Amino acid sequence: MNQRPPRTLATPTADLVARFAEIVGPAYALTDPADQQPYLTEWRDLYIGRTPVVLRPGSTDEVARIMALASEAQVAIVPQGGNTGLVGAQIPSESATEIVLSLGRMKCIRAIDPAGASMTVEAGLTLSEVQAAAAEQGRLFPLSMASEGSCTIGGNLATNAGGVAVLAYGTARNLTLGLEVVTAAGEIWDGLKSLKKDNTGYDLKDLFIGSEGTLGIITAATLKLFPAPREKATALAAVPRLDDLLPLFRLAADEAGSALTAFEFLSERALAFVAKHTPGARLPFANAAPWYVLLEISGMEEGKAESFLERILTAATERGLVSDAVIARSLVQAQDLWRLREAMSEAQKGEGGSIKHDISVPTPQIAEFIVRAAEVVEGICAGARPVPFGHFGDGNVHYNVSQPIGMDRTRYLALWEPMSRAVHGVVAELGGSISAEHGIGRLKRAELPLVKSAAEMDMMRRIKAALDPKGILNPGKLL
Amino acid sequence: MNQRPPRTLATPTADLVARFAEIVGPAYALTDPADQQPYLTEWRDLYIGRTPVVLRPGSTDEVARIMALASEAQVAIVPQGGNTGLVGAQIPSESATEIVLSLGRMKCIRAIDPAGASMTVEAGLTLSEVQAAAAEQGRLFPLSMASEGSCTIGGNLATNAGGVAVLAYGTARNLTLGLEVVTAAGEIWDGLKSLKKDNTGYDLKDLFIGSEGTLGIITAATLKLFPAPREKATALAAVPRLDDLLPLFRLAADEAGSALTAFEFLSERALAFVAKHTPGARLPFANAAPWYVLLEISGMEEGKAESFLERILTAATERGLVSDAVIARSLVQAQDLWRLREAMSEAQKGEGGSIKHDISVPTPQIAEFIVRAAEVVEGICAGARPVPFGHFGDGNVHYNVSQPIGMDRTRYLALWEPMSRAVHGVVAELGGSISAEHGIGRLKRAELPLVKSAAEMDMMRRIKAALDPKGILNPGKLL
């Protein structure tokens, strides 16, 4: 996946690097390879880039000055948050010509307004830090995912992150009221409004969110806050048949409405991997079931959520949609159930190589996707072991496929591209998305024109050219 | 507010009009002024346009052929839905050179999927028709507003309509999963996905939504459906002080969370106008209060919403935030309470001329806005009577100002521009929006550069030029 910068972009000279360094100060311009290393290596080692300098600005003004100089000199800039991205968008190419701009020092909470239910934060705060600041005011910032201790809110917004709370609260895009963005030319757009309604012109906010650093650099955001639920009830249900998942979801969603805050699913094999490889993981059932669902009900009234959940599970059991279920009777038990779901990606490492897909289809098509994807996977690599799991209520399946037992890991991973093409072919036929929440980056860039119409690709390229005419923002990513 | 088309645009010849007419067939190409009249007159007579022909295509393909011809001939196209817009975006200029493209014949419900909680509809269905189709399947499409019997879903999306259900469900943008759009060049973009998560490229959907027909023509949309609430509880509360509105809202929102589906407010004078001018309107209180709030709680469990609402009102009364309250004991009583709120705009006509503002500020700033706006209004026209009302929970105030008693209506309405500038000045200082839900259109176009930064105007113009390089889509609107 080696890439060269477009011909029009310049290779930074030592003089130019010094001018960039002057903007942030020498302590925050990293040129030593040892210092740079954490910014250049994707966490699964899928991408390892090179750069003349990693810049760590401390303010929006410094970011603006960096972009103004980059625009003048026609040098490529790769914005980076917590370096937890899964598609390589945050890593520079191997050409050593692209400058990394890390937002990690911009950690100011500029305002927090519990009465107005909003907060304004800078891009470099980790998601955990944002959640904690909201919680201190008795409010909920609901975005949540396994990487929340490391990922930054700026990166969450640049990639329109999803996670485990999308069902009730939406993606990062839905949680954002306003943005501050530095443009490719180094201008600062102050779009930090905390308004729920604002119909004054084009929706620039949502254009920047999810653009993976290719249209502008998000330096701060005004986020929505929510009332913190008084209580949560959590259950793990064993489900006898694949086709039972959808009616169980509908039953829960119809009964609970927006109080249904999680409906996550795992296959039998996925849970078996967790049981085998996760220290301390305890399976609550004596007998295995083909499918498991983690349900969570959040309530505003004390002492109601659990009985509500019980009623849903009783109705589901009567209809044969659930063969067994356990309700958490304490916070610790609830955390234990959540750990079974969250440990999944990590647990899978114990089973050798994994080819991963992050797809979505309409919820009524999930079962058909799982059946058909298993067929195409078997056709490409007999014995490969699919472990579907994910956010059922969002139609989002993390369709990971572990290598056949005993196969060479490298040989297996060499099948990534043909297997992905085949799985994504099924996704396309079902009207789905080849990237539900991780984005395009470098990983899926070549595939994008295969799943998008020429009309859509053309519009995206026109918008890119309009907002970044010199092509200096994160080249070779997304488009 | 007379406008000429940009110099580059052509005046359609009779031959060209005949070519356009051929696309839709003679019955659907209106050239007789009497036939055209309903498409050329804004419903409050604020704008009256002229056109060589009103085209009424019956399919996306016909819309695409119209746009391809318009692009080739460089002729301006003004898209129109139900002609209920409040800022003149749907009316052609007086130059008689712009062709009106009415989507009103495109009324197909292409798909409805209650299990997947989505439906795909064409642009010309009225909002009521969309709501009814969802209700037939036991689902809720929550967008709702006074004009729902006439406005079309295409127009709702082109303007990112708001209405009375934004608090719990969001604006039209938040309710849309995918779009079909015909571009300025006459290409069809099929973005009709019913996916909750899709991170594959730029968010074109949200760029077209709210762009008021200046970037493309929305021909169909995939919409989100919701579980229909089992029950609703509705109350009208009398509130003794302006400063009590915010704590009352926070109390209700914190207690009810997403079950709080309406928190609408009216001033004493607003309700008095309704009582005076609306046939059959009955005020439930013996004594007038300075402020009134209409609260609605929607519940998924039978028999809970009313007791929940009672608890909120009891707590509010104990804290002195509410001086009197009435809870609807039947559907008819609930409709009576809603009518008090919905009759407001119409009732105001009985009091002579009205200068209207559709603003939003963060909810904590609403009280300050109301105080300061009254001061600037009095400074511009002594005796003018503000009747603030609207969607408190969204920070959205319909700040209508009735003329002083006995003043000449025309003389009063001549103050529209200075009064709006002054009111919008207060809005800007409070970090608000000069158009919360109605859009910019022609009415607020000249004001837009005054409230937006140069950087934002520049980005919007670049995007307009990228997607409509010939400037044929709704010229003179928004930008």
Minimal-distance CA residue of chain B relative to A170: B196
What is the β-pairing status of strands B99-102 and B77-80? parallel
In the numeric block, which tokens belong to residue B442? Answer: 């022609």
Which stretches within A343-432 are classed as H helix?
344-348, 366-380, 409-413, 416-429
Pairing of strands B176-182, B99-102: unpaired
Q: Does B402 touch chain A (CB under 8 A)?
A: no
Indicate which of A140, A169, A199 best probes the interface with B, i.e. most B CBs within 10 Å of its own CB: A199
CA atoms of B61 and A109, how far apart (whole Å): 50
Report residues of chain A scoring pLDDT below 50.
Answer: 1-5
- State the virtual CA torsion across A128, A134, A137, A138 in degrees, nearest 10: -90
E strand or H helix that includes residue A399? strand A396-402
Residue type, A343: A
How many whole angstroms separate alpha carbon A144 and alpha carbon A129? 12
Q: What's the pLDDT score for residue A2?
A: 39
A216 by DSSP, 3-state: which? Answer: coil
Chain B residues within 8 A of A116 when measuring between CB atoms: 362-365
User: With an 8 Å Cβ cutoff, are A200 and B360 in contact?
Assistant: no
* CA–CA distance, B171 with A94 (Å, rounded to integer): 44
ipTM, 2 dp: 0.94
Backbone torsions φ then ψ of B382, nearest 5 degrees: -60, 135
C-beta separation of A423 from A397 below 8 A:
no
**HEC profile of chain B:** CCCCCCCCCCCCCHHHHHHHHHHHCHHHEECCHHHHHHHHECCCCCCECCCCCEECCCCHHHHHHHHHHHHHHCCCEEEECCCCCCCCCCCCCCCCCCEEEECCCCCCEEEEECCCCEEEEECCCEHHHHHHHHHHCCEECCCECCCCCCCEHHHHHHCCCCECCHHHHCCHHHHEEEEEEECCCCCEEEECCCCCCCCCCCCHHHHHCCCCCCCCEEEEEEEECEECCCEEEEEEEEECCHHHHHHHHHHHHHHHHHHEEEEEEEEHHHHHHHHHHCCCCCCCCCCCCCEEEEEEEEECCCCCHHHHHHHHHHHHHHCCCCCEEEECCCHHHHHHHHHHHHCHHHHHHHHCCEECCEEECCHHHHHHHHHHHHHHHHHHCCCCEEEEEEEHHHCEEEEEEECCCCCCHHHHHCCHHHHHHHHHHHHHHCCCECECCCCCCCCCCCCHHHHCCHHHHHHHHHHHHHHCCCCCECCCCCC
Helix A366-380 / helix A245-256 crossing angle, nearest 10 deg: 150
Inspect the interface and report whether the beta carbons of B226 and A196 lie closer than 8 Å.
no
Q: Please, which residues 80-139 of chain A have a Cβ atom closer than 8 Å to chain B?
A: 113, 115-118
**Residues of B (153-172) whose Cβ lies below 8 Å from A:** 159-160, 162, 166, 168, 171
User: What SS3 class is residue A58?
Assistant: coil
SS3 for A410? helix
Rounded to 5°, the CA angle B86-B172-B119 comes to 130
Tokens 């304490």 sit at which residue? A330
Do A55 and A102 meet the contact criterion of CB atoms below 8 Å apart?
yes
Cβ contacts of A412 within 8 Å, gap of 6 or more: A352, A353, A355, A381, A384, A403, A404
The CA-atom distances, in angstroms, between B162 and each of B148, B155, B156, B439, B445 are 11, 12, 8, 10, 20
Mark yes or no for CB contact A199/B300 under 8 Å: no
Find the Cα–Cα–Cα–Cα dihedral B152, B155, B159, B162, rounded to 10°. 0
Window 373-392 of B, Cβ < 8 Å to A: 391
- Chain B nearest CA to A405, separation (Å): 33
**For residues A40 and A424, what is the distance between their CA atoms, to the nearest angstrom?**
29
CA distance B45 to A198: 25
**Residue A201 CA to its chain's centroid (Å):** 28
Cα–Cα dist A100/A39, whole Å: 8
Question: What whole-number distance in Å separates Cα of residue B186 and Cα of residue B60?
Answer: 10
What DSSP designation does A267 have?
E
Strands (DSSP E) found in A226-333: 226-227, 231-239, 260-267, 291-299, 324-327
B273 close to B313: Cβ distance less than 8 angstroms: no
Closest CB from A160, A203, A466 relative to B209: A203
Query: What residues in A contact B363, CB-CB < 8 Å?
Result: 115-117
A222: which chain B residues are within 8 Å (Cβ-Cβ)?
Answer: none
Query: Closest-CA residue in chain B for A308?
Result: B301
Q: In the 8-state DSSP scheme, what is residue A210?
A: T
Dist. CA A110–CA A220, nearest whole Å: 9
Buried b / exposed e over A273-305, threshold 16 CB at 10 Å, is: bbeebbeebeebeeeebebbbbbbbbbbbeebb
- Per-residue pLDDT tens, chain B, 479 aa: give them: 334 445 589 999 999 999 999 999 999 999 999 999 999 999 878 899 999 999 999 999 999 999 999 999 999 999 999 999 999 999 999 999 999 999 999 999 999 998 878 999 999 999 999 999 999 999 999 999 989 999 999 999 999 999 989 999 999 999 999 999 999 999 999 999 989 999 999 999 999 999 999 999 999 999 999 988 889 999 999 999 999 999 999 999 988 888 899 999 999 999 999 999 999 888 899 999 999 999 999 986 777 889 889 999 999 999 999 999 999 999 999 999 999 998 988 899 999 999 999 999 999 999 999 999 999 999 999 999 999 999 999 999 999 999 999 999 999 999 999 999 999 999 999 999 999 999 999 999 999 998 899 999 999 999 999 999 999 999 999 99
HSE of B228, CA atoms in CB hemisphere, 13 A: 12
**CB distance A438–B256 less than 8 Å?**
no
CB atoms B197 and A166 under 8 Å: yes
Closest C-alpha among A153, A136, A194 to residue A144: A153
Residue A45 and residue A213: Cα distance in Å, rounded?
Answer: 21
Contact B115 A463 (CB under 8 A): no
